Amino acid sequence: MGNPKGKTSKSKRDSRRAQTFKLSAPGIVECPQCHEMKLAHRVCPNCGYYKNKEVVSTEK
């Protein structure tokens, strides 16, 4: 079995764990049409646009 050759230092261990911590939730992007925050790969709920064309009518 592969074993680690030496003890991982506190700074090495902590910096490794720090990279999994993300400030913003993944998969949330800005809509290119209305610049609202929306889920990636989904039709924008604000303007109904996806891939630069309107796919869902937003009129009330």
Nearest alpha-carbon partner for 47 in 33, 60, 37: 33
Q: Where are the beta strands (DSSP E) in 1-60?
A: 28-30, 37-39, 49-50, 53-54
55 makes contact with Zn ion (CB under 5 A): no
Q: Tell me how many residues contact Zn ion (CB under 5 A).
A: 6
How near is the Cβ of 44 to Zn ion at its closest, in Å?
3
Q: What is the contact mask toward Zn ion in residues 12 to 41, using x (rule: CB under 5 A)? A: -------------------x-xx-------
In the complex, the residues that contact Zn ion under the rule CB under 5 A are 31, 33-34, 44, 46-47
